[in-house]
Amino acid sequence: MVVGAGPVGLTAALLLARRGREVTVLEKHEHPYGLPRAVHLDDECVRVLQAAGVAEAFARVSRPMAGLRLLDADGRVLVEFARAPGAGVHGWPQASMFSQPDLEELLRAEVARRPLVQLRTGVEVAGLVLHPDGVTVTDRSGARLEAEAVLGCDGARSTVARLIGAGEVPLGRPDRWLVADLQADAPLDVWPGVHQVCDPHRAATFMPVAGDRYRAEFRLRDGEQVGDVDLPALLARFGAADTRVLRAVEYAYGARVAARWRAGRVLLCGDAAHLTPPFIGQGLGLGLRDVHQLAWKLDAVLAGADGSLLDTHRAEREPHARALVRLAVLLGWLMTGGGDRTAVLRRLLLAVARRVPGLSSQVLASRTPALRRGPLVRRPRLGPAGPVGVLLPQPTLPDGRRLDDLLGEGWALLTRSGARPRLPRGVRPRVLDASALPPLGPGLHRDWVLVRPDRVVAAVSRR
Ligand SMILES: Cc1cc2nc3c(=O)[nH]c(=O)nc-3n(C[C@H](O)[C@H](O)[C@H](O)COP(=O)(O)OP(=O)(O)OC[C@H]3O[C@@H](n4cnc5c(N)ncnc54)[C@H](O)[C@@H]3O)c2cc1C
């Protein structure tokens, strides 16, 4: 059972259904959340949408993003970090812009096509009782439902997190921003990337989203309310004065991770497990990675694998979530924090930074860091880990398909000349001839490469 039909909960349900599991999704609201939220996903996350069966539909409602420009208070470009056009190593554009309600709509449409997923709206979860092999869930009306497991994907104010006493580790102070979604009758003459205004007096972000939509965000000053802000004047700085304001709301950006991610067969994913300021556009991305990594483990446990497999959920996801939240807080401060003296220092540093070759790809990189050695990652104790613990790249095959479509839902063994490792108990991979595949990238030309269902390289042969 999944609690919460946000993008993370719906993706979890689709991933489990593709493994043949029946899933009930409980959602307290009748309709999807309509307020402005995520606009950016990277290629790793679109790969998760591919696993859920919605990446092609996502490509139709999104567009590739050009990069990041840092501007001073007068709108002059301090530095530009450009993205390379075209597909990246994961088979999709390295960054895509979209409107979160569009993504939620297409996820709901896919859920409606899957007989194994039942979405029940208007059901608010209020209680949980844990059993060794399952969970009893109660809703507000007192009705009871039995589940083999519960994924708490119920967002930043998660009831499931509260019910399991998840607690939280704060990683930064809340920051208040005005967030506005805009619509333009004719395309605006603007650079097609993210504009970040590094003005400590009025930090701002502006970006074209997709179609006729644009997003503007302005940090609120102490005591300032949304109604106090002269929005048309601020939008005019980006040439967007004539756009229609669809929504303008205040968000207090939090920065934290849950202290506990699991109690028995109840597990937290998405904003229920971590909350990040959106400076690097990774909040939803973290949640999609959570469920991609968890769906196959939960499926295996429900099929009889040892329940301790679920302990790797937090072990594998929390360090990444913590690092990204910290990075978002730090970059947010570096780009927009401090006072006038910091602004001068920032200008000097950026003047140097723009001359550093290869810095763009470093600044914009959002790769999931390599997983540490563990029961599902056979990294050597000493010496370089090579590609183990890292996501396998996804080249396009000669017939136009992407690699993941060939790998299927489970484990995969890419082998040359029939070489095979001793496989972990219960692992029955799909075996593919690696010599018939396009080059996979540095360190992956081996006798064999064992790939987990979430496309993490679990082990490689020495040669
Ligand atoms: C201004 C802004 C900009 C952002 N930009 C980006 C970005 O560019 N890129 C990015 O990756 N992320 C971004 N994010 C973050 C992203 O929007 C969130 O991380 C994402 O929505 C989290 O999805 P979720 O499914 O975990 O939670 P939610 O989308 O919050 O869904 C949770 C669902 O659970 C339901 N629910 C709650 N309690 C219960 C209950 N007791 N019973 C039943 N149902 C319940 C809720 O009604 C809701 O539908 C941004 C966020 C904001 C605010």
Ligand 1: does its nearest atom lie under 6 Å from the Cβ of 9?
Answer: yes
Question: Residue 328: which of 368, 275, 370 has the closest Cα?
Answer: 275
pTM surpassing 0.85? yes
User: Which residue is it, tokens 């790793």?
Assistant: 44
Domain match, 248 and 261 both: no
Q: Is residue 201 part of a domain?
A: yes
Q: Which atom of ligand 1 is nearest to the CA of 40?
A: 8
Does residue 141 sit in the same domain as residue 198? no
**Token pair belonging to 244:** 């229609």
Residues 149, 13 contacting (CB under 8 angstroms):
no
pLDDT of residue 383: 66
| Pairwise CA distance, residues 391 & 458, whole Å | 9
Q: Are residues 221 and 324 in the same domain?
A: no
Domain membership of residue 342 (yes or no) is: no
Do 200 and 294 fall into the same domain?
no
27 and 164: one domain? Answer: yes
Alpha carbon of 134 to those of 87, 267, 346: distances in Å? Answer: 42, 12, 53
258 and 157 in contact (C-beta within 8 Å)? no
Domain end point (choices 253, 270, 293): 253
Instruction: Extract the tokens encoding 89.
Output: 């190593």
Distance 331 CA to ligand 1 centre (A): 22
In a domain, 57, yes or no: yes
Decide if 186 is inside a domain. Answer: yes
Q: Quote the CA–CA distance of 294 and 300 in Å, as a whole number.
A: 10
Question: 224 and 292 share a domain?
Answer: no
Instruction: Please give the pLDDT value at position 79.
Output: 87
Cβ neighbours of 436 (radius 10 Å) = 11
Structure tokens belonging to residue 293? 């990594």
Of the three residues 201, 224, 253, the one that is the final residue of a domain is 253
Would you report the helix, strand and coil content of the chain in percent, each value rounded to 5? Answer: 30, 25, 45
Question: What totals of helices (H) and strands (E) does the chain contain, helices first?
Answer: 11, 26
6 falls within a domain: yes
Rounded to whole angstroms, what are the CA distances from 282 to 40, 167, 434, 462? 8, 22, 33, 35
The strand order across the sheet containing 430-433 reads 430-433, 412-415, 448-451, 457-460
- Are both 248 and 264 inside the same structural domain? no
Does residue 312 lie in a domain region?
yes
Q: Is the CB of 152 under 6 A from ligand 1?
A: no
Do 227 and 180 share a structural domain?
Answer: yes
Question: 50 and 139 in one domain?
Answer: yes
pLDDT at 87: 81
**Is residue 160 within a helix (H) or strand (E), and if so which, with residue range?**
helix 159-163
Which CATH number goes with the domain that contains 106?
Answer: 3.50.50.60
Query: Does residue 6 have its Cβ closer than 6 Å to ligand 1?
Result: yes
Q: Look at the chain and count its residues.
A: 463
Angle between helices 283-302 and 311-336 (to 10 degrees): 180
Distance 254 CA to ligand 1 centre (A): 13
Residue with tokens 């991609």: 292
Residue owning the nearest CA to atom 51 of ligand 1: 37
Q: Let me know if residue 14 belongs to a domain.
A: yes
Instruction: Compute, in angstroms, the gap from residue 371 CA to the centroid of ligand 1.
Output: 25
- From the CB of residue 157, how many other CB atoms can be counted at a distance below 10 Å? 9
Chain centroid to Cα 398, Å, comes to 29
pLDDT per residue as tens, the chain (463 positions): 999 999 999 999 999 999 999 999 999 999 888 877 999 999 999 999 999 999 999 999 999 988 889 898 888 998 888 888 788 899 999 999 999 999 999 999 999 999 999 999 999 999 999 998 899 999 999 999 999 999 999 999 999 999 999 999 999 988 899 999 999 999 999 999 999 998 888 899 999 999 999 999 999 999 999 999 999 999 999 999 999 999 999 999 899 999 999 999 999 999 999 999 888 888 999 999 999 999 999 999 999 999 999 999 999 999 999 999 998 888 877 766 666 666 666 666 666 666 555 555 555 667 888 888 887 887 776 666 688 999 999 999 999 999 999 999 999 999 998 888 888 888 899 999 999 999 998 889 999 999 999 999 999 998 7
Both 229 and 319 in a single domain? no
Paired tokens of 332 = 């947010």
Position 21 scores a pLDDT of 98
Pair (245, 125) in one structural domain: no
Please identify, by atom number, the ligand 1 atom nearest to the C-alpha of residue 104: 29
State how many domains the chain has. Answer: 3
Substitution candidate for ligand 1 out of 284, 288, 294, 331 with most atoms within 8 A of CB: 284
Domain extent for 235: 175-253
**Under DSSP, is residue 351 helix (H, G, I), strand (E, B) or coil?**
helix
Distance from the alpha carbon of residue 155 to the mean position of ligand 1, in angstroms: 5
Which of 26, 94, 154 for a ligand 1 pocket mutation test, highest count of atoms within 8 Å of Cβ? 154
Res 32: pLDDT = 87
Q: CA-CA distance, 126 to 98, in Å (whole number)? A: 33
**How many whole angstroms separate alpha carbon 265 and alpha carbon 130?**
7
Ligand 1 centroid to residue 234 C-alpha, Å: 27
Phi, psi of 431 (to 5 degrees): -100, 130
Closest approach atom of ligand 1 to CA 217 = 1
User: CA 15, CA 409: separation in Å to the nearest integer?
Assistant: 9
Q: Which domain CATH number covers 181?
A: 3.30.9.10
pLDDT score at 348:
63
- The atom number, within ligand 1, closest to the CA of 285 reads 11
C-alpha 251/C-alpha 174 separation (Å) is 9
CA 431, distance to chain mean position in Å, is: 29
Let me know if residue 78 belongs to a domain: no
The answer to whether the CB of 10 is under 6 A from ligand 1 is no
Q: Are residues 138 and 215 in the same domain?
A: no
* Among the listed residues 90, 6, 5, 4, the one whose alpha carbon sits nearest the alpha carbon of residue 55: 90
- Among 151, 271, 327, the mutation site with the greatest number of ligand 1 atoms within 8 A of its Cβ is 271
Distance CA 383, CA 312 (A): 23
Contacts of 223 (CB under 8 A, 6+ apart): none
Rounded to 10 degrees, what is the CA torsion of 356, 362, 363, 366? 170
CATH code, 461: 3.40.30
Final residue of a structural domain among 192, 219, 253: 253
Do 203 and 217 touch, CB atoms closer than 8 A? Answer: no
